[in-house]
Structure 1
Amino acid sequence: MMSAIKLAIVGVGKIVHDQHLPAIAANPDFQLVASASRHNIVDGLPGFKSIEEMLAAVPGIDAVSLCMPPQYRYQAARVALAAGKHVFLEKPPGATLSEVADLEALAAAKSLTLFTSWHSRYAPAVQPAKAHLAAHAPTAMQVIWKEDVRQWHPNQEWIWQAGGLGVFDPGINALSIVTEILPSLIFLNRATLEFPDNRDAPIAAELHFQDGGGMPVHAVFDWRQTGKQSWDIVVQTSDGELKLGDGGARLWVHGVEQPLTKEAEYPSLYRRFAGLVREGRSDVDVAPLRHVADAFMLGQRKVVDAFHD
């Protein structure tokens, strides 16, 4: 049997406690050996304030999962790769496309694994939907991704800062599913981004895409939703309607809900990362981030009421 990959986590926040730690604990391919975070620790493990301090103090680390806000991820990834460590990037993989391209080149030069993780692509409805759309050509798509920022990102100031993505932090999950299930590439035609007048990142966005054949994709992202949250993708096809609900956890074809496997997004991510490390390969896909960058480039800016937590 191969020895476990010695893994460290950098950036210990809510997503780490909710998703990463349980997934790692359940995967025998990994042994979690340390963490680095400015404010938090992982119980039972050596904890450090920076990745530099951690790598200097803990010998034998093979890989790191970088889970800090995207504005700070590039420098930590450079440090890890320079030290010979494989790197798992939480979504989004960076604050800019150029950062990720530089990391990809460095990982390749050092024969290390770089993994841009998109957890929503591992939702149980995604691969069945992809197979259905490969057999039945889509003719239109509607994406509705609306949630309450106060529920999901309470008091997280970084997300409202430049580079924090704002409503695109959840919206990029929708785009990761869209770019996985569609059989053709799409590109942005026009967009409107709504910025609170006291924030540097948008609270809502409306995006209009099409593919080379003119098939339309309309997406609406909003962080002001209260009550029931909406994470839906509805596709019209040559064979009727297909719908993904609850962020890809449920699937309907012709209005009939389909049986699916149990949700296991983060366990699937770590299985994928372990396989890449064992095989000496990288998986770097920036398509969802490219669409977000296009929205900031092409989108009309609209100022709306100030937002306060």
Structure 2
Amino acid sequence: MVHKIALVGIGKIAVDQHIPAITNNPDFELSATVSRHASIDGVESYTSLDDMLEKRPDIGIVSLAIPPQPRFDYAVKALRAGRHVMLEKPPGQSLAECYALEKMAQEKGVSLFATWHSRFADSIPAAKDWLKSRTIKRFRITWKEDVRRWHPGQEWIWEPGGLGVFDPGINALSIMTEILPYDVHINAAKLEFPSNRDTPIAAHLAFTNPDNAVMDAVFDWRQEGPQTWDIDIETDQGEMKMSSGGAKLSIDGKSIVEGSDHEYANLYAQMHTLVQNRASDVDLSPMIHVCDAYALGKRITIAEFEF
């Protein structure tokens, strides 16, 4: 069975990732788009989600590739209309919103998928398996990128609910919570806020863990030149490095995975499985870490940052 899907939001992430993943998957048909400013050639387009839901009852899945601030209202409309819903990361601008959507999906008997695309990188299964039988001594996340390159003109990321540097940083947290053999929690954080912004541009997090390992994460949105998305792990039985956001994996200096960009293809394959089984996948552990960072973090005000 081919599932008809509507894509809401036709921005950079939709064009770069969602549309190719949908069109290359034989289990889906991109049947409609919803956007106030953009459309896709050959695909029926709407400027209103309400209009699409009313006129296209045959479309069973709605994928939301819009900023987190308005996402809750869109998801509620789709769920109330009995449609399966796929949420771009982060799944919402607050935990309460996410829990409410999860409950609504259960009541409606439809699938809800809170996606974490970095968890579907090629190296994740091997990294997770390797760590299961080892004691971690040192765990360091280094996630540094240029916000001007990856979010050109996207002012929403600096507004409340936009998460700031945690928008990319939550990708690293989604990997960490997937590959670690146990739960961890933040016990200290420092957040750097430009004086003219409502969300942080940099963060340093420290974690408590059962191995008593030194475990921390550094996020920074001011990186120029080469971009850095690395996780370095030292254990009692060797060292592991994940790079390129999880696409590459090396152990003791030997390359194990030299992955391609299959994350969104894997996401949509998972969405197909969930819909087939009327199941949901709503793991909020990466979001919990972000909320804890805001709750525990020492706020440091720095110079203005012009975007």
Alignment deviations for residues 212-261 of structure 1 (CA, whole Å, 9 cap, x no partner): 34233210000000011100000011102111011111111111111445
Aligned to 1:273: 271
Supply the distance in 2 between the matched residues of 1:235 and 1:59 (Cα, whole angstroms).
49
How much does 1:136 deviate? 1.7
| Match of residue 101, structure 1, among 78, 99, 102 | 99
Supply the distance in 1 between the matched residues of 2:261 and 2:164 (Cα, whole angstroms).
26
Supply the distance in 2 between the matched residues of 1:161 and 1:256 (Cα, whole angstroms).
42
Is 1:296 aligned to residue 294 of structure 2?
A: yes
Aligned to 1:287: 285
CA contact (8 A) 2:137 2:211 kept: no
Stretches of 4+ aligned residues off by more than 6 angstroms: none
For residues 174-193 of structure 1, the aligned pairs below 5 Å read: 174-193=172-191
Helix, strand or coil at the partner of 1:258: strand
Alignment deviations for residues 73-95 of structure 1 (CA, whole Å, 9 cap, x no partner): 10100000000000000000000
How much does 1:267 deviate? 0.5
How much does 1:45 deviate? 1.5
Supply the distance in 1 between the matched residues of 2:176 and 2:118 (Cα, whole angstroms).
10
CA contact (8 A) 2:174 2:285 kept: yes
Question: What is the TM-score when the length of structure 1 is the normalising length?
Answer: 0.97
How much does 1:137 deviate? 2.2
Is 1:263 aligned to residue 256 of structure 2?
A: no
CA contact (8 A) 2:31 2:43 kept: yes
261 and 206 in structure 1: CA distance in 2 versus 1, 3 angstrom threshold? closer
Helix, strand or coil at the partner of 1:289: helix
How much does 1:157 deviate? 0.3
Aligned to 2:32: 34
Aligned to 2:121: 123
Aligned to 1:87: 85
Helix, strand or coil at the partner of 1:202: coil
CA contact (8 A) 2:247 2:257 kept: no
How much does 1:5 deviate? 0.8
Of 34-43 and 159-168, the range deviating more from structure 2: 34-43
Helix, strand or coil at the partner of 1:135: coil
Supply the distance in 2 between the matched residues of 1:204 and 1:74 (Cα, whole angstroms).
26
Is 1:72 aligned to residue 45 of structure 2?
A: no
Supply the distance in 2 between the matched residues of 1:61 and 1:263 (Cα, whole angstroms).
28
How much does 1:161 deviate? 0.4
Is 1:308 aligned to residue 302 of structure 2?
A: no
CA contact (8 A) 2:123 2:257 kept: no
Q: Which runs of 5+ in 2 are unaligned?
A: none
Aligned to 1:4: 2
Query: CA RMSD of the aligned region, Å?
Result: 1.0
Aligned to 2:108: 110
Aligned to 1:222: 220
Aligned length: 307
| Match of residue 192, structure 2, among 180, 191, 194 | 194
Alignment deviations for residues 83-119 of structure 1 (CA, whole Å, 9 cap, x no partner): 0000000000000011010010010011100001110
